């Protein structure tokens, strides 16, 4: 899939980091007016879903999320960019198709336990995703970790790594990488929609917005509607990963799984 799609002007429902939160994804899509359709989903008014990446890992149902999103992308009702967790998964699947030994997390193990055809399909799917999407005449950029203006429309491997993993300015004494605050420096006119850095509330800065509201950590799953710039979110149905953060809340309305 080419990431350079200026001819696509939406309307879009841009969905933040899903991280295996399948029920919340179905709930969010339902609230946005999407209907289940032969394994995927479609919108009565012809909207297109756009996933900012990190579909997998952390949450309880990475396989179901992949099935749904892959069906939507294949049917042409969704676009997607990869997140660092998705790329890490596909690299693991390619390196060790029968499942890699060693330290791992539940979300990745769940996919690695699937039959070879499914694992191969996932690896192909993630590998074919563009690092970022350039939409609506270049006025809208979607990249998992965000993207500084000089890399908009640059579909090189180096640019893809920045879009997926972000840029870092150094490391803390413990080894944890310090993320470059690219959004604070951003002066571009294109709106940049991203996830990757968990925030309590979606946050606009300099025409960039972070919509990773931490669904797998007891937060919410959030969508940004474009061009309306309306935010819609559903609460996490329960705590999916170890977190001392927001308490569990009741699940939103859930469409038939
Ligand atoms: Mn991420």
- The per-residue pLDDT for 94 is 87
Query: 176 or 98: which carries more pLDDT confidence?
Result: 176
Q: From ligand 1's centre to the CA of 163, what distance in Å? A: 10
Q: Which residue matches tokens 């946050």?
A: 203
In order of 56, 78, 134, 241, 256, the CA distances from 106 in angstroms are: 10, 26, 33, 10, 25
Question: 169: which 2 tokens?
Answer: 């300015």
pLDDT in tens, 21-68: 999 999 999 999 999 988 999 999 999 999 999 999 999 999 999 999
Top CATH class of 4-235 equals: alpha beta
pLDDT at 248 over 50: no
- The per-residue pLDDT for 38 is 85
Q: From ligand 1's centre to the CA of 123, what distance in Å? A: 17
Between helices 116-128 and 84-95, what is the axis angle to 10°?
130
Q: From ligand 1's centre to the CA of 221, what distance in Å? A: 14
pLDDT at 249 over 60: no
DSSP string, 166-212: --EEEE-TTSPEEEP-HHHH---SSEEEE-SS--SS-EEETTEEE--
Q: From ligand 1's centre to the CA of 212, what distance in Å? A: 9
Q: From ligand 1's centre to the CA of 95, what distance in Å? A: 21
Q: From ligand 1's centre to the CA of 84, what distance in Å? A: 5
Closest Cα partner for 216 from 78, 25, 87, 45?
A: 25
Q: From ligand 1's centre to the CA of 44, what distance in Å? A: 31
Closest Cα partner for 9 from 165, 168, 135?
A: 135
Question: 249: which 2 tokens?
Answer: 């809340």
Q: What residues does each domain of the chain span? A: 4-235
Q: From ligand 1's centre to the CA of 109, what distance in Å? A: 18
Interval 156-163 mean pLDDT:
97
What is the rounded end-to-end Cα distance, in angstroms, of the chain?
28
DSSP string, 16-83: ---TT-HHHHHHHHHHTTEEEETTEEEETT--EEEE-S--SSSSS-HHHHHHHHHHHHHHTSEEE---
Q: From ligand 1's centre to the CA of 45, what distance in Å? A: 30
β-strand pairing of 78-80 with 48-51:
parallel
Q: From ligand 1's centre to the CA of 197, what distance in Å? A: 7
pLDDT in tens, 202-218: 999 999 999 999 999 99
Q: To the nearest 10°, the Cα dihedral for 185, 189, 194, 197?
A: 20
Contact call for residues 129 and 81 (beta carbons, < 8 A): yes
165: left (phi over 0), alpha (psi -120 to 50) or beta: alpha
pLDDT at 239 over 70: no
Phi/psi at 152 (5° precision):
-65, 125
Instruction: Tell me 127's DSSP state.
Output: H
Q: From ligand 1's centre to the CA of 186, what distance in Å? A: 20
Q: Which residues pair with 142 in a beta bridge?
A: 133, 193
Q: How confident is the model at residue 104 (pLDDT cuts 50, 70, 90)?
A: low
**What is the reported pTM?**
0.90
Give CA–CA dist 234/21, Å, rounded: 11
């Amino acid at each position: 899939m080419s990431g350079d799609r200026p001819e696509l002007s939406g309307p879009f429902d841009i969905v933040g980091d899903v991280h295996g939160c399948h029920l919340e994804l179905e709930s969010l899509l339902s609230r946005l007016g999407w209907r289940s359709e032969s394994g995927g989903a479609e919108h009565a008014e012809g909207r297109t879903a756009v996933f900012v990446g990190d579909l997998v890992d952390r949450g309880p149902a990475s396989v179901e999320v992949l099935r749904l999103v892959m069906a939507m992308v294949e049917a042409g009702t969704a676009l997607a960019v990869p997140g660092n967790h998705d790329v890490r998964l596909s690299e693991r699947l390619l390196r060790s198709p029968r499942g890699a030994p060693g330290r791992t997390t539940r979300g990745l193990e769940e996919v690695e336990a699937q039959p070879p055809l499914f694992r191969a399909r996932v690896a192909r799917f993630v590998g074919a995703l563009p690092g970022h999407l350039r939409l609506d005449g270049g006025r809208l950029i979607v990249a998992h970790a965000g993207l500084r203006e000089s890399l908009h429309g640059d579909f090189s491997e180096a640019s893809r790594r920045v879009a997926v993993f972000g840029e870092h300015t150094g490391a803390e004494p413990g080894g944890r990488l310090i993320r470059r605050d690219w959004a604070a420096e951003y002066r571009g006119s294109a709106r940049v929609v991203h996830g990757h850095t968990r925030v309590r509330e979606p946050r606009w800065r300099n025409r960039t917005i972070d919509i990773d509201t931490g669904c797998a950590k007891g937060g919410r799953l959030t969508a940004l509607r474009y061009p309306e710039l309306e935010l819609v979110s559903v609460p996490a149905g329960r705590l999916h990963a170890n977190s001392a953060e927001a308490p569990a809340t009741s699940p939103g309305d859930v469409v038939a799984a």
